[in-house]
Amino acid sequence: MAAVDQAAPAGTARPASQSRVRQTLAVIWASRVGMVGLVIVLFWVGVAIFSMVTTLDPFGQDVTAVNSSPTLRHPLGTDDLGRDLLARVVHGSRLILTLAPLSVLSALLVGSTLGLVAGYYGGLVDEVVMRLLDAMMAFPTILLYMIILAAIGPSLVNVVLAITIVGTPGIARLVRGLALDIRTREFVSAAQLGGEKPLYIMFVEILPNARGPIIIDAMLRVGYAVFAIGTLGFLGLGVPPPSPDWGSMVARGRSYIWTNPWAVLWPAVAISSLVVGLNLFADGLREESMRYQ
């Protein structure tokens, strides 16, 4: 009988998981705004996947078609070096859809840990952690990006590191607020009375019960990260050339904006559409999820 009783929870785990997936999909489907955002995001995800199998060369130069308007040979035109804009936009999507989620995930890991520690322990620990993070948030975001990248230099890894550092305080404040509320719940008190260690309580009892707001906030932050990567590329502090970074493409093309506006238009549309899609998806998911609370 004991074996049967122990097996029962395992048998119900899969249906419960499937039920949560169905509920999540139902919430997304119920939001028109969220669906529009999801379609835009999935389009760019498809473009990023396409970049892995296409023969389009983002670095190849056509000296016979410098600053060219859209043609059959170059559907989106070319830049000042004769490089195909379609190829560069396509390959740039994979770059930005790798860096942005990776940056947010890194910030999420660090910020969630700091927020849980501050919210669970409170007192002096809370004061020290949050005052340090408040000092970081006192800097304007762009200025903080510039300080970090000026100190360590622009590169793929350093762009991720900069976005992680800048995004950590906001995530930590959110998680701290949630932890302050959840730590007063009965199941947390029961875990404490049962002798569970603080790390177990923070990451097994508190964090899973705060995942909803954290996930939605993370989705919004992916959009912010996309915009930040584009801004850093425009300022010359992002991914070093000749990488097909959308921001650096806009910066390079603005010198020829009156003779070849396509070099600025396409990467600018790519950045704005992806950011809008991510924000619409997150906003729609947040609005619909609040109805079920």
CA distance 211 to 216: 9
pLDDT at 139: 87
Percent with pLDDT over 90 in the chain = 57
Q: Residues with Cβ < 8 Å from 264, sequence gap 6 or more?
A: 249, 250, 253, 254, 257
Tell me which DSSP letter residue 54 carries: -
Note the pLDDT tens digit of each residue in 119-133.
Answer: 999 889 999 999 999
Instruction: Render pLDDT for 31-85 as a digit per residue (tens, 0 to 9).
Output: 788 889 999 999 999 999 999 998 989 999 988 889 899 999 999 999 999 999 9
Q: What percent of the chain has pLDDT over 70?
A: 88
Q: Which of 142-146, 214-218, 261-265 has the highest mean pLDDT?
A: 261-265
Would you say the C-alpha torsion 252, 254, 256, 259 has a positive or negative sign? positive
| Average pLDDT over the chain, rounded to an integer | 87
Cα separation of 270 and 95, whole Å? 13
The H or E element that residue 98 is part of is helix 85-121
Averaged pLDDT for residues 216-234: 92
Average pLDDT over residues 135-162: 89
What local confidence, expressed as pLDDT, does residue 28 receive? 67
| Intra-chain end-to-end CA distance of the chain, in Å | 38
As given in the structure block, the two tokens for residue 33 are: 């705004």
- The pLDDT, as a whole number, for residue 75 is 93
Evaluate if residue 5 carries a pLDDT over 60. no
| pTM value > 0.75 | yes
- pLDDT tens-digit map of 233-281: 999 888 888 889 999 999 999 988 899 999 999 999 999 999 999 999 8
pLDDT in tens, 74-116: 999 999 999 999 999 999 999 999 999 999 999 999 999 999 9
Report CA Rg, the chain.
Answer: 23
pLDDT at 21: 59
Largest CA distance in the chain: 81
pLDDT value of residue 18: 62
Domain 32-47+83-290, CATH among 1.10.3720.10, 3.40.640.10, 1.10.630.10, 1.10.1040.10: 1.10.3720.10
Contacts of 247 (CB under 8 A, 6+ apart): 229, 230, 231, 232, 233, 234, 235, 238, 267, 271
The residues spanned by each domain of the chain are 32-47+83-290
Query: According to the model, what pLDDT value does residue 4 have?
Result: 43
DSSP letter assigned to residue 82: -
Residue 132 is predicted with a pLDDT of 93
Phi, psi of 210 (to 5 degrees): -110, 10
Q: What is the DSSP letter of 209?
A: G
pLDDT band at 212 (very low <50, low <70, confident <90, very high): confident
The helix (run of H) or strand (run of E) holding residue 41 is helix 32-50
Whether the predicted pLDDT of 10 surpasses 60: no
Confidence of residue 1 (pLDDT cuts 50, 70, 90): very low
pLDDT of residue 230: 92
Closest CA to 100 of 247, 288, 236: 247
| pLDDT at position 142 | 87
The torsion angles phi and psi of 285, rounded to 5 degrees, stand at -65, -40
